[in-house]
Structure 1
Amino acid sequence: MTTPLHTNLKEPKNFNPDPHFSFLVNELFAKVDDVTKERLGGFASITAKKSFIIEEFIKAWKHYVGLNIFPATRLIFPNRDGRLYFMRDVGLARLVTKMCKIPKNSADYKRVNDWKKNYHDYKRQNHDKRKLRALSYILAQQVSERRDLQPKGDDVTIAEINDVLDNLGMDELGKAEKQIELLRPIIDRLSTEELRWFFQIILKDSMIAPMETFFFLAWHPDAPAYSNVVNNLKAVFWRLTDETERLHEDELKVHLMYPFLPQLAAKPKLSYEELASKMEHNFYIEEKIDGDRMLMHMQRNPDDKNDMRFKYYTRRCRDYSLLYGEDLKYGAISKYLRHAFNEGVTSVVLDGEMVAWDYRRNVILPFGTLKASAVQEAVRHFTTEDAFADQSAWPLYIIYDILYLNGIHLEATKLIDRRAALRRLVNEIPHRFEVLDTPIGHSAQDIEDAIRKTVSERSEGVMLKNINSKYKIASRDNSWVKIKPEYLEQFGENLDLVVIGVIKGVKNAYMCALKDATDGVYKSFCTVANGFSEKEYDEISRITATKWHVFKTEPPPPERVIFGSRKPDLWIYPEDSLVLEIKARSIDASPLATYAVGTTLHNLYCRQIRDDKSFEECITVQEYREMKRLHSTDNTHKQDVIKEKKKSSRRALLESFSENTVTIKAESTLFNSFSFMILSGKVDNRTGERIADTDIAKVIKKYGGTITQSINEEAAASGRFICISEIMTIKARQIHQRGIDLIKPKWIFQCVRYASIIPLEPPLIFKGSNTLIERAKRRLDSYGDSYILHPELSIDQYVGDLNPVPPLQPRELKRFRSEIITDINDGDEDSPLAYLFADIQVYIVASTSTPHWQREGLQRSIERYQGIITKELTLATFIIIMDYDRFDFKISQEIEKKVNKISKDIAGQLKLEKKDIIRVKIPNIVRQSFILESIHNKVLVDPQDHKF
C-alpha cells in the first residue's frame, strides 16, 4: 500500500519553536485586511500592496522563526486545512452566546444570532461595511465587552491555537459544554483583534485565499504546482524549505490517493471550422453530463486481491470517500466494484462524473438529486430494504479518462490511447460503473449537429476533446472545449411576478411565483436578489410589514401556495404581497424540483416594483410554458457560439509587435541588438500618468529594439535581454527567480532622452540581483544623487508621432478584444459575471477631451466580461456615453451634438417589414454608470435607470 507523502518527510526545525499568534495577526492578517484603494501609498494596486506584505511576512518568518511555516499555514489557509469542526456560523454564534451568557431576546442576542437577517436593520447604523459583514468581528466585540480585563494578547502561541483547534474537531466534543470548556481558556487570553481572526479561522474563512498562489510562490517556486497535485499543506511546506532546490518532474505529477486539480475545458474561442482544424479533424464529442466531477483512486493490496482501498475527490479536492466507500464493504459505489477491474490492475486513478441514475425512468437526474441518492444508497447496507421501496435512483460513476496505472503516469499519453486502455482495464457494471461512449467527430458540421441536438434536448452541453491531447493537471487547455446552451441563446423577456417568499440574508432574496390558471394555485418559480436599491428594500418592507408567516412553524396551505424543494424563511399570501418586474437573460428548460413550476430563470434582475399591477395580473404558468416552448425550440436559425476573444488586447498587441505584424518604422539604432520582454506599463507616482505597455513597445520599436514574449537565453547571457516591469506579478516573480533582473520602464525613456544606453542606477531597477544593486549604487554620489540622470520629462517628448497602425481586419480584431485578468481567484468558471456582457456589442461616445487611457479602461472593462466594442451603430446593443464635465458648456455641446447625430442615424436606418414589426435592434443610449453598476451587481441592470 502507498505510504502518505508527508510521513516520509522530516519536520523542519525552527530556531524559535513557539512563535506567537500575535505575530501572525499583526504582520499578516491585520496588514492585508487594512489594504484598500484609499490606502495604497506608493503601490500601483491592491494586489501589489498585498503581495509586498506577504513577501515581507515570509522574510520575517524565515528570519525570526525558521523554515517550518506549516503550523502557521494551517491558520492562514483554514479552508485548506483538513480539520473539521462541524460548526458553521449559526453554531458558532450560539456557542458564543452561551459562553458569554448573553440574555435571550436582548439586542446583543439578536445581533449575534440573527446577524444575517438583521443586516438591513443595523446597516444604516454602521459605516464600516467590511467589518459589518463579518460574524467573526461581531463575536469578538461581544466577548470583549463582557470581560473585566482586556488581555494583551501577545502570549498565546500558534502551537496553542493549533492544539485547541485539533481538539475542537474531535468527535467526543459534540456538546456545547465541552466545546466551551475547551475554548474559554484560549479566548480569555486573546485580544479583541486576535479573537476576530481566531473566530474566522474556526469558520474556515481565509482572507488570504485570493492571494494563495502568490503566497505559495513567494515561499518556493514549485509550491503552487506541487500543491495542485497533493493538495496537502504539510506535504507542501515540509517538502519545500529550500527555494534553490527544485522538484523532479515526477513529483509534479499525479500522486496515488492524493487529491489534485483536474484539467478543465476552455470556452469556445474559434469558429467551428477553425476548431475542427485545430483539433486535426479528429476529436471526441462527449455529452456534458449534469453531475459532480469526481477523481477516483483505487489501490489493491498485492497480498490480497479482495483488499481494495478507494478515494473519491471532487474537482475542488473535497474528499467524498466516506460517502462513496473507502473499501469494498461500505459506500454508495465501492461496494459494487469487487470485479470492476482486471486482476492485473493494482492501482489506478480515474477521471469521470458522478451522477444520479433513475432506473425506473432510465435517465440521469439533475445534479441536485445526486447527494440524496448517494446517502440513501450508502446507508442501505445498515437498514431494511423496505425503507427504500420508493427509491428509484442511485449514484452512477461515468468514466472518461485514466491518468495512472500500476505506478505508471499516463498524463503524457494521448487521449485516444488512454481511452483504449480504459476499455481493456475496466469491467463495466451497468448503471453503477460505466465508461462513457464518445463518437469521434471530424468536421464543423459534426460540431453543429451536436450543438443543435444539445439545444433541442436541453441537455447540459457538449465537450470536444482532441484525440491526441495530453492531460494537463490544474490547467484549462484548448485541446478540451466546453460548449453549453447558455453560450448560444438568451432569454430577453421581462416578466411580472408576484412575491411569495423571502430568504433572509446580507442581501435579501425574494422568491416569486406563477399562477396556475387551472386551479388558481401560486407556484414558486424563481428567486431574485439583484437590482434592489435601499429605497426599494424599504418599500417592500413597508408594503408587506406584519403580513409574513414563518415557514417552519406555519407552512402555507397547498391549495393557495406551493413551494418546491427550496423553501423560504418567510412566506406571504399573494394578495398581501406585491409585483416585481423581473429581467432574465436565460431560461432553464430542463425539469427540476427546486421550484414548484418545474423550471426557472437565470441571471435575474429586478427592474422595478410594479405598483400599477395586482397579483392577479401576473403571468400564468400556461403563458410561461408557451414562451418557454417557443424559446426552447426556436433553433432553426444558425446559432453561433459567443466566441471568447482569442487573446487579450494587451498581450495580443505585444505579440503583434514581436511578430512584426504592426509596422513601426525604426528611426534610430539605439536599441539595436536588444531584446525586450514587457511585463507592465509605467506609472508616474507624482502625476498619476499611466503609460501602457503597448506604448512602451512602440517606443522600443521606434528606436530599433525587438519585442519578445519568451526569455532569450543568449541575449540574457550577454546583457542584451531586458525584462521591463515595475509591478510584481506572479509572472514577474517567476522570471526574477530564474535569475533575470527586472528593469523599470523609466530606463527606456532615459536612454531615449540621452540618446545612449544609460548605465543602471538604483532608481531604474525594480528587482535585481545583489551584485547588480551594489554595482548600481556605486554610480551615485555621497548624497545619493546620480552623476548622469536629471529629472524625467513627459512621455510625449519620447514617443512623438508614431507611424499609424494599419487598419485591422475583422478576424484580427477578434484577437485584441480581451484583457488578461491577473490573480484570478479560482472560482466557479460558470459565474454569470464571466459572461456579463456576452453577445452584447457596445458603441462608445466620448468627448475629444477625454483622455485616451480612460477610454481604453472602459473598453477593457467591457471586454473583460465578454462584451464587444463596435464602431458600427447598426450592430450596437448599447451606446455608452462616457463621463464628462457637465458644467463645461463646450464639452456638453459637443456630446449633445454627437448623440443627436447618432439618434438621427439610427432612426434613418430602421426598416419595417410586414405587419410593421421592427426587425432591427434599437440600441439603448445610456451613461457610463450602466457598465459600472452592471459589473458591481454582477447582472445587467435596468438601462432605463441610466438613460442619457
Structure 2
Amino acid sequence: MTMNADEEMRDDAVNRPTGEESDLEEKYPNRPRNHSKTLPFHTLPQTLFRPLSEIKKKPAGPPGNRRKAGPHGQSAANLNPFERRRDVIDRFISRWRKEVGDDIYPAFRLILPDKDRDRAMYGMKEKMIGKMLVKVMKIDKNSEDGFNLLNWKLPGQSTASSMAGDFAGRCYDVVSKRPMRTEVGNMLIEEVNEKLDQLSTASKEEQQLPILAEFYRRMNPEELMWLIRIILRQMKVGATERTLFDVWHPDAENLYSISSSLRRVCWELHDPNIRLDAEDRGVSLMQCFQPQLAQFQMQSLDRMIGRMRPTEEDPVFWIEEKLDGERMQLHMVSDPSTPGGRKFRFWSRKAKDYTYLYGNGIYDEAGSLTRHLGDAFADGVDNLILDGEMITWNTEQDAPEPFGTLKTAALSEQRNPFSQGIHPLLRIFDILYLNGRDLTRYTLRDRRNALQKVIRPVHRRFEIHSFEEATTKTEVEASLRRVVAEASEGLVLKNPRSPYRLNERHDDWMKVKPEYMTEFGESLDLIVIGGYYGSGHRGGNLSSFLCGLRVDDEQSSERSNPTKCYSFCKVGGGFTAADYANIRHHTDGKWSEFNPRKPPTTYLELAGGDALFERPDMWIKPEDSVVLCVKAASVSVSDQFRIGLTLRFPRFKRLRMDKDWKSALSVQEFLDIKSNVEQEHREKEFNVENFRKKRVKRTTKTPLAIAGYDENAEVNYAGPSGHIFDGLNFFVLTDANAPVKKSKAELESLVKANGGKFYQTNNAAPDTICIADRRTVKAASLQKSGDVNIIRPSWILDCIRQNEVDAGLPDFLLPLEPRHMFFTTEDRKEEVAGNLDKFNDSYARNTTIEELSNLFKQMGKTHNVNESCSSQAIEKLTERIRERIGSGWTMPSGWLFKGLTLHFPKGSAEGFNPDRLQSKQLSRIHLARNIVRFAGANVTSSLKDASITHIVVGPDTLASEVSILRKTLSTRKKLPHIVTTAWVEESWKERTLLDEERTFPTDPTAALILIWPV
C-alpha cells in the first residue's frame, strides 16, 4: 500500500532531526526507540480512560464484565478495584511495548498531562474553549447548545442539565448532536502531541482556532471530550500518577520525586529489570525535585504531639509559623563564566521554573532577588540546594503581604530594585545539598545547623525562618493563639530527628491550621445575598454562598432602602444535602441572575467598583433571603469584599430560621465583636510573653562540614544499641524498603551501634554478611555468582527488635527465615525453610499482630491476604481522603468518626437509672455504638479516659441526669461534648460530622439540654 504525498511529507517532518532533537540526543544518548508508529489516539479512551472511569464508578462490576484473567489467573471482575486498575494499566503498557516499542513518553504526556513539564501551559480555560467550539461548530451562541457551552456551570436545558459543572461532559453532549465523525478518529498519539505543542505556543485565537477545528474534524465526540480534559489537565480517571508509575517501573516514583521530569521517568527507566543505583536516588543540582509536604492535622492535638516526641529521652519538637507564600527551592552553583561567579535556578512546588522572575545570577537585571545575594553565602560554599517559602514583604509596614501579590512584587522589584514598597523575600527552612553532598538523609537538626553556618541573611530579602523548641501542647496552643491574632496561616510542627522525605506527606511534619481549632473561632449570623454554581457532583446547583452584613441606617448611602448589604465572605463548606434542600425550599423563585452591566446596587454592594470583585452567579434580595450561622477562625484584611475585611476559613454551622434579615449581623455590630475579640487577645499576650521567656534553650551540634567533602562523616542515628552483632562483618548494598524505610547509612549505624562492623565490599573481611533489598548492579552480580547468600535488611531490624523484647536474656541472632532472604544459595534453602512451621510461623521470633492475622487466614485457606489493605495503603488513602474532604468528596463510611473517642454511659455512677431505659432506647444506643465503631471511632468504657471527645446518651435522658454527668466532668481541662444518639444517626446519614449544637429531625429537643460545652 503506497502513501499519498501528504502522509510522506508528514512522516518526513516527524523523522527529520531538529535543533531540539539534537540536544535531546546529546542529553539522552541511551533513550529508547520505538520500532513502529504510535497507537491511534482512540486507544487511550477505549482501553485506558473509559475502563478506569468505569472501575471508579462501579468498583465491583457486573459478572458480565469478566473478560480477561488478572495477573494471577483470576477473572478481572474478581479482582479488587486497586488490582483491576493495575490490570488495565498493565495491559495498555504491554500492548504499547509489543506494538510500538519502549518509548512510552508520547502516551504518558497525554495520560498524565499535569505532570508534563516540557509542554507550556495552553492559556485556555473552559470559557475560551467553549467560545471556540461555538465558532468551530458554527452554532448560535444564544441557542440552547451555545448557552450550555458558554454557561457550563449553570443548569442547562434538556439533557445538558445532567452535565452541569462538568465542562468536558457538557462539550460531549453538544458535539454528539453534530459530530464530524461517528466512528473512531484517525489521529495517532504522536500527531495529537504535535498539535498540542502548537496549541501551547499559539498566543492568539486565530492561531488556536484552526488547531481545535482539526481536532473536531478528526475525532469522534468521546475522543474530543478526553482531549479537552487533557488540555484542561483535569483527567479524573480514578488512577493516580503513583499507580501508573508503579506499573511502569518500581523506581519511577522515586525518579520523578527527585527530577520532576516525566521524560526522564519514561526514557531512563524503560527497562523494569534495571534499577536505579543508590547514587541516582538523591537530589541533584539544577534538577527540580518534589519537596516534602506537611501532614494534615489530626483531630487530636495530643495525638500529634505524641507523634512528634516518640521518646522521653529527646521529647523536643519544633514549632514554625506557616507562611502564606509559595513553596520555592533554590539551586546555586559556582560558575566562573557567569558574572558574579554564581548561577541560580528557582522552582515552585509544582515544578514551575521561576528563574525568569527571581534571577539566574547576581548581576541579572531581571533578578528581583538574586541581585541582593552577592554576600549571602559563607566562604567555601560552592553549591547548595535550599528549601523555603517565597513571600511578599511590605517595607513600609514591615509586615508580609497576602500570597496573591507575589508576582506583582517581583515585577515591581525588577523595575525598581531598591525602592520602598513590596518585594520578594525568601524564608529558608531547610538545606538539602551542600558542596556535592546530598543531605536529605541527615536529621532536620543537623541540616538546620549546617544551614545556620552557610547562610548570611540579607535583611528582608533572604532570611532563615525561625522556629521554637517545645515539648507540650500548652506551648503549641500559645503559639497558635499568637498567629491567629496576627492573621497568620497557622503552624507547622516538625520532628528535629527526622530525615527529609522527598514527595511525601509524613507525620514528621504536621500543619496546625486555626480553622480546626474551634476554641479560637467565632460564630456569626450572616445574610445570604448571592450564590455560586458548583462543579462535579454539585454541578447545576448553588453550592456556595456570598454572605453580607446589613448596612446600618447611618452608614447607608441610600437611606430610603434599609435592606442594603455589603459583601463580606463566601461560605461553601459544612453543608449537608438536607441543608441545601432547606435553603432551596425557603428561597425558591426568589433568585435573579447577576448582570454585571446592571448590578443590583440598590440591594447589595460589592468591592472593586466597576470590577465587581467576587460577583455571584445569582443574587437575592435580603428580605427574601435566609440567615446562616457561620463559624470562622479569625478576621483578615481583604480588598475582595466591600467592608475591606473578611472571615478566614468560614464554615456553615446551621440555618437560622428563627432570624430574618432585620436581626442578621450589621456592619457596626460586627466591628464591635471584632474589637472585643482583639481586646481578649491583647489580654492573653502577657501570658504568652511570660511563657516564651521560660522556653527551653536551643541546643546545637556540628555534624556537618561547611565546605568540602568529608568521606568519613557519618549519619547520627538515634537507634537501639547492644551487642547482638559482636564479631560480625556486614556489607550493606542498599537501603531498606520494608517493613520501614531506612537509608544505607542508617542501617550501617545500626550495625555499628550493636557491635558489628561494616565494609564497602563483600571480600574486605571474612564471612561478610551481604544485605540488600533491591536488585542493583552489585546485588545482581553477587546473585549471578550463585555462592553468596543475600539477606534483606528486615533481618537486622528483627534481630534488634527481638532482643529488645527479650531484654535481660543473653543476646542471640534470629535464625534466617524465607522472608529475610533476598537470594538464597541451594545449600541453604532447606535450612532456611526449616525455621518456620507448616503455617509459616517462626519458631524463634515473636509474631506481630499483622502476621498473626495473616496466619489465621492461611490456616482457614479462605482467601489470600489483600495487599492493598496494608497499613501503608491505608495511610495513603487516609491522606488523599483528607485532601479532598471539603472539595466535593463524600466522607467514606469507614473514616467518618476516625480520630474521635466516644463513651456510652451504662451504670448509675454517672447518675443514670438503667431500669428506666426502654428497650427501644437501648436498641438505639446499641446501634449508635456499633455505627461509631464501624466508622473508625475509639469506644472507651471508662469515663476516666482523658482522650474522650464525645459522650453519647439516649434520647430520653433527663436534664437532671446530664447535670450530674457534667458535674462529674467539670474538673477536666478539656471538656467533652455530651450528645444524644441523634447526632450519631444524622451524621451517619449525611456522611459528614454535623455540628453538635444543631437539632435533628429524629430528636428535636436534644440540643436544648445536652450540648456541652456551649
Structure 1 length as normaliser, TM-score? 0.70
CA deviation map 1:105-136 (0-9, x unaligned): 111111001011x23x55x9568x5x554312
Asked if structure 2 preserves the Cα contact closer than 8 Å seen for 1:263 and 1:475, the reply is yes
Report what 1:554 is aligned to.
599
Q: 1:160 offset after TM fit, Å?
A: 0.7
Distance 1:376 1:125, change over 3 A: same
* Structure 2 SS opposite 1:944: coil
Distance 2:935 2:512 in 1: 24
Report what 1:587 is aligned to.
633
The structure 1 residue matched to 2:198, chosen from 156, 159, 167, is 167
**Within-5 A mapping of 1:522-601:** 522-530=565-573, 531=575, 533=578, 535-536=581-582, 538-539=584-585, 542=588, 544-546=590-592, 549-551=594-596, 554=599, 556=601, 562=607, 566-569=613-616, 575-584=622-631, 586-595=632-641, 596=643, 598-601=645-648
The structure 1 residue matched to 2:670, chosen from 608, 615, 621, is 621
Report what 2:410 is aligned to.
374
Question: Which letter maps to 1:351?
Answer: D
* Structure 2 SS opposite 1:34: helix
Distance 1:448 1:96 in 2: 54
Question: Which letter maps to 1:340?
Answer: A
2:376 is aligned with 1:329: no
Report what 2:754 is aligned to.
none
Asked if structure 2 preserves the Cα contact closer than 8 Å seen for 1:501 and 1:510, the reply is yes
Asked if structure 1 preserves the Cα contact closer than 8 Å seen for 2:514 and 2:633, the reply is no
Distance 2:47 2:140 in 1: 36
CA deviation map 1:202-229 (0-9, x unaligned): 1111224742211111111111111111
Asked if structure 2 preserves the Cα contact closer than 8 Å seen for 1:332 and 1:377, the reply is yes
Q: 1:201 offset after TM fit, Å?
A: 0.8
Distance 1:925 1:602, change over 3 A: farther
* Structure 2 SS opposite 1:257: coil
The structure 1 residue matched to 2:175, chosen from 136, 143, 158, is 143
Report what 1:230 is aligned to.
259
Distance 1:920 1:10, change over 3 A: closer
Report what 1:413 is aligned to.
442
Asked if structure 1 preserves the Cα contact closer than 8 Å seen for 2:951 and 2:978, the reply is no
* Structure 2 SS opposite 1:85: coil
Distance 1:525 1:445, change over 3 A: closer
Report what 1:731 is aligned to.
none
Report what 2:130 is aligned to.
93
Asked if structure 2 preserves the Cα contact closer than 8 Å seen for 1:403 and 1:410, the reply is yes
Report what 1:34 is aligned to.
54
Report what 1:792 is aligned to.
none
The structure 2 residue matched to 1:294, chosen from 312, 328, 336, is 328
Report what 2:31 is aligned to.
11
Report what 1:157 is aligned to.
188
Distance 1:623 1:714 in 2: 70
* Structure 2 SS opposite 1:373: helix
Distance 1:332 1:941, change over 3 A: farther
Distance 1:544 1:57, change over 3 A: same
Distance 1:540 1:824, change over 3 A: same
Q: 1:855 offset after TM fit, Å?
A: 7.0
Moved more, 12-21 or 532-541: 532-541
* Structure 2 SS opposite 1:137: helix
Distance 1:902 1:301, change over 3 A: farther
C-alpha RMSD over aligned residues: 4.8
Distance 1:857 1:323, change over 3 A: farther
The structure 1 residue matched to 2:102, chosen from 64, 67, 91, is 67
**Within-5 A mapping of 1:193-208:** 193-208=222-237
Asked if structure 2 preserves the Cα contact closer than 8 Å seen for 1:293 and 1:354, the reply is yes
CA deviation map 1:554-607 (0-9, x unaligned): 3747996657995223575854541322242x4224444444352415352263
Q: 1:375 offset after TM fit, Å?
A: 4.0
* Structure 2 SS opposite 1:304: coil
Distance 1:65 1:549, change over 3 A: closer
Question: Which letter maps to 1:412?
Answer: R
Question: Which letter maps to 1:237?
Answer: C
Moved more, 929-938 or 361-370: 929-938
Distance 1:333 1:17 in 2: 47
Distance 2:212 2:515 in 1: 48
Asked if structure 2 preserves the Cα contact closer than 8 Å seen for 1:543 and 1:578, the reply is no
CA deviation map 1:429-468 (0-9, x unaligned): 2111122344555777765654554455554444444445
2:346 is aligned with 1:312: yes
* Structure 2 SS opposite 1:104: coil
Question: Which letter maps to 1:205?
Answer: Q
* Structure 2 SS opposite 1:214: helix
Report what 1:340 is aligned to.
376
Asked if structure 1 preserves the Cα contact closer than 8 Å seen for 2:357 and 2:411, the reply is yes
Asked if structure 2 preserves the Cα contact closer than 8 Å seen for 1:81 and 1:233, the reply is yes
Report what 1:498 is aligned to.
527
Q: 1:99 offset after TM fit, Å?
A: 1.0
Asked if structure 2 preserves the Cα contact closer than 8 Å seen for 1:257 and 1:297, the reply is yes
Distance 1:139 1:352 in 2: 41
Asked if structure 1 preserves the Cα contact closer than 8 Å seen for 2:292 and 2:501, the reply is yes
Question: Which letter maps to 2:42?
Answer: S
The structure 2 residue matched to 1:713, chosen from 798, 805, 821, is 821
Distance 1:251 1:830 in 2: 36
Report what 2:429 is aligned to.
400
The structure 2 residue matched to 1:239, chosen from 265, 268, 293, is 268
Distance 1:40 1:288, change over 3 A: same
Distance 2:993 2:582 in 1: 15
Distance 1:944 1:45 in 2: 37
Q: 1:723 offset after TM fit, Å?
A: 14
* Structure 2 SS opposite 1:402: strand
**Within-5 A mapping of 1:832-871:** 841-842=901-902, 858-859=932-933, 861-863=935-937, 869-871=939-941
Question: Which letter maps to 1:260?
Answer: F
Asked if structure 2 preserves the Cα contact closer than 8 Å seen for 1:16 and 1:65, the reply is yes
Question: Which letter maps to 2:41?
Answer: F
Asked if structure 2 preserves the Cα contact closer than 8 Å seen for 1:465 and 1:480, the reply is yes
Distance 2:252 2:223 in 1: 28
Distance 1:159 1:434 in 2: 47
CA deviation map 1:748-778 (0-9, x unaligned): 2049xxxxxxxxxxx86989xxxxxxxxxxx
Report what 1:667 is aligned to.
none
* Structure 2 SS opposite 1:21: coil
Distance 1:936 1:361, change over 3 A: same
Structure 2 length as normaliser, TM-score? 0.65
Question: Which letter maps to 1:588?
Answer: S
Question: Which letter maps to 2:82?
Answer: T
The structure 1 residue matched to 2:85, chosen from 37, 42, 50, is 50
Gaps of 5+ in 2: 1-22, 63-76, 557-563, 689-738, 741-813, 841-849, 906-919, 1005-1014
Q: 1:15 offset after TM fit, Å?
A: 3.1
Gaps of 5+ in 1: 640-653, 656-705, 726-734, 752-762, 768-815, 882-897
Distance 1:903 1:638, change over 3 A: farther
Distance 1:90 1:559, change over 3 A: closer
Distance 1:743 1:504, change over 3 A: closer
Distance 1:38 1:181 in 2: 40
